Amino acid sequence: MFYWIMKNIVVGPILLGLFRPWVIGLENIPKQGGVILASNHLSFIDSVFLPLVVPRRVAFLAKSEYFTGKGLKGWATRLFMTASGQLPIDRSGGKASEDSLNTGLRVLGSGDVLGIYPEGTRSPDAKLYRGRTGVARMVLESGVPIVPVAMIDTEKAMPTGTRIPKIRRIGIVIGKPLDFSRFEGMEGDRFVLRSVTDELMYELQHLSKQEYDDVYASSVKEKRASLSR
């Protein structure tokens, strides 16, 4: 109920009125049943506007640090993340990665919509980067459709490192569901997982028109951070 009120009465109408997002392909999202929305990731506000334009409730897996902040800022961030349907996950790797996968599978098993960013982190420079195979494992284990989504110009509305977005139009392009049923039962094969992931990233590049760089975005961020020291 809290999510519905924030989306449809309190926050949603204001943000939609200010940013006037244009949307293509909304009909490609199944009206019922579990489904993965796999999106490129340009800005923090990607997790805000995609759920606002999708009629169904969308749950995103968000890093747990957003839910553990202290003081007024921590409370406000936690409230916002909860209101926008975010689910806390530990991204430290190992068992934490397995727990994240299981959290996503529970959402899908309940017949709900799961939003995920295959790149694993925001793009540092508006390029599209190599996808991580966790999304492929999730789609093969769950057997649900996966729908590619391209966020357009959100990095211009709220660049990384800024706290207040600029008022400007953004876009969302939703592709047709991808069918990976030919790989059923092969979620343990790392070559299959890479093939599924690469096919998804190719479709995202086609929808978003971003320049593609076949390295992990996290590696680019780490390299830039080391050079700036």
> What count of Cα atoms within 13 Å lies in the side-chain half-sphere of residue 167?
6
Per-residue pLDDT band at 100 (split at 50, 70, 90): confident
Residue at token pair 């109408």? 13
Measure the CA–CA gap between 53 and 164, rounded to whole angstroms.
Answer: 21
Share of the chain above pLDDT 70, in %: 86
Q: How far from each other are the two terminal CA atoms of the chain, in whole angstroms?
A: 47
Per-residue pLDDT band at 84 (split at 50, 70, 90): low
What confidence score (pLDDT) does residue 99 get?
Answer: 77
Per-residue pLDDT band at 228 (split at 50, 70, 90): confident
C-beta of residue 173 within 8 angstroms of C-beta of residue 46: no
Angle at 170 between CA 168 and CA 176, to 5 degrees: 175
Q: Which among 76, 78, 74 is positioned nearest to 62, based on CA atoms?
A: 78
The model's pTM is 0.90
pLDDT reading at 92 higher than 60: no
Per-residue pLDDT band at 9 (split at 50, 70, 90): confident
Measure the CA–CA gap between 170 and 20, rounded to whole angstroms.
Answer: 7
Measure the CA–CA gap between 205 and 170, rounded to whole angstroms.
Answer: 17
Beta strand segments in the chain, E: 22-24, 35-39, 58-63, 86-89, 113-116, 128-129, 146-152, 171-174, 212-213
Measure the CA–CA gap between 158 and 48, rounded to whole angstroms.
Answer: 12
What confidence score (pLDDT) does residue 213 get?
Answer: 97
Give me the chain's average pLDDT, please. 89
Per-residue pLDDT band at 49 (split at 50, 70, 90): very high
